Amino acid sequence: MAKNDPGFNTLAIHAGAQPDPATGARVTPIYQTTAFVFDDSDHAAALFGLQAFGNIYTRIMNPTQAVLEERVAALEGGTAALAVASGHAAQMIVFHTIMRPGENFIAANRLYGGSINQFGHAFENFGWQVRWADPADPASFESQIDDKTRGIFIESLANPGGTFVDIAAIADVAHRNGLPLIVDNTMATPYLIRPIEHGADIVVHSLTKFLGGHGNSMGGLIVDGGTFDWSKSGNYPMLSSPRPEYNGMVLHATFGNFAFAIAARVLGLRDLGPAISPFNAFLILTGIETLPLRMQRHSDNAIAVAKWLKAHSKIAWVNYAGLDDDPNHVLQQRYSPKGAGSVFTFGVEGGYEAGKTLVEGLQLFSHLANIGDTRSLVIHPASTTHRQLSDEQKIAAGAGPDVVRLSVGIEDVKDIIADLEQALSKI
């Protein structure tokens, strides 16, 4: 009998997991412990010296976390992964691994508002500079690269507008200039898009959103694509130079195509400390088991809602790449033929105040700052998630004053539409 590679649905349930060797428990247990016993002094020395793999302390690694990491790495087609406390923590660890003070990276200007704020303000305290580029124009990335640039960052499916990005074109720019491409794949998940297949070198996730999927746990994750040569340019000394913390070990030479994940763990997570709790890792693992079912239902519901809104007299415009006449539809069909995802934006006739009235009139939808829940969610980004940005930044990020963002859940679509209809009737 020929050996087949497991399919996506199978990996979502089984990747990384085995029955617990101590008890036979089929579901991965919550290893709610801070530390782990060593076999002897030599075993402890080998673990601390990176000569052996194993558990030391839950801030650095934990068996529940390890299953989560292996599962998402398998779903993304990466070589290894690292789970951390949040999506923001994942981004911080990635840039801590590749950046030094005075260096810069190029980021798409269509990003989650929190990422724009993190990159433009918090990262300044580390001496890291961000330069903004238009994800619809790959040349706008290339024109800003200089000898201090260390990476390019994009979202595969941009938040809040649900805009698809030409990953392969921007990957070409990055690799032509000897830079890694970092892709936030939170909105699409590997069910819709696997960025590594299109040239990404590192993938990050907010596990809080669709991968966990139930609005109950915070988490972030970094996937090492195993595709980038960290030693070629000499610009990434955390990976290519001898590390004094590990007796002069060169991590890229030692660990090869999963060296980035190792460096992020033992040089970033170890010292900066944004560890994910075992309980959160357990809940997110449980959520991932139904990821393919949920993402397809999210996408199917969202296209039905988008079509209904587009035909409504009180809606000025709808931005959803799944619509045949959407400017982004060609990219959606190329990168994500199974669907355009759950999240999209639209404008209500009447602008800022009408958008707020709609949001406040909804009953089935929950008004909160999150996406990726089984429940339908709504927000007015200009007054909430993107409030800290200037008007120009809001518009550039797809969060102008009239914008309403939906994260369409997996309820019966007739009920979702009925709620929108009753709220629109109040305007």
pLDDT digits (tens, 9 = 90+) for 10-62: 999 999 999 998 899 999 999 999 999 999 999 999 999 999 999 999 999 99
Q: How confident is the model at residue 1 (pLDDT cuts 50, 70, 90)?
A: very low
Give mean pLDDT, residues 335-348: 96
- pLDDT score, position 384: 76
Task: Extract the tokens encoding 26.
Answer: 């089929």
What's the full length of the chain, in residues? 427
Q: What is the pLDDT of residues 148-161, one digit of tens each?
A: 999 999 999 998 77
Secondary structure of residue 83 in the 3-state scheme? strand
Percent of the chain at pLDDT exceeding 90: 88
How far is 339 from 344, CA to CA, in rounded Å? 12
- pLDDT score, position 113: 83
Give mean pLDDT, residues 100-108: 98
List the CATH code of the domain at 9-287: 3.40.640.10
- pLDDT score, position 322: 97
Other CB atoms closer than 10 Å to residue 285's CB: what's the count? 27
Secondary structure of residue 121 in the 3-state scheme? coil
CATH of 291-424, one of 3.20.20.70, 3.30.450.20, 3.90.1150.10, 3.40.50.300: 3.90.1150.10
Cβ 181 vs Cβ 196: under 8 Å: no
**Domains of the chain: which residue ranges?**
9-287, 291-424
- 68 HSE (CA, 13 A, CB side): 33
Give mean pLDDT, residues 290-303: 98
**Least confident span in 99-108, 244-253, 347-356, 413-422:** 347-356
How far is 334 from 71, CA to CA, in rounded Å? 25
Q: Using the predicted structure, report yes or no on whether residue 232 has a pLDDT greater than 60.
A: yes
Ranges assigned E (strand) in 135-201: 149-155, 157-158, 163-164, 181-184
- pLDDT score, position 3: 63
Give mean pLDDT, residues 317-342: 97
The reported pTM is: 0.95
Q: Using the predicted structure, report yes or no on whether residue 235 has a pLDDT greater than 90.
A: yes
Cα-based distances in Å from 424 to 17, 229, 276, 320, 349: 47, 53, 41, 19, 10
Q: How confident is the model at residue 266 (pLDDT cuts 50, 70, 90)?
A: very high
Give mean pLDDT, residues 128-143: 97
- pLDDT score, position 397: 67
Question: Where are the alpha helices (H) located in 37-79, listed in sequence order?
Answer: 41-48, 63-76
Q: What is the dihedral of CA 169, 109, 146, 264, to 10 degrees?
A: -90
Ramachandran angles phi, psi of 149, nearest 5°: -80, 135
Give mean pLDDT, residues 190-219: 98
Q: What is the pLDDT of residues 374-389, one digit of tens each?
A: 999 999 887 776 677 7
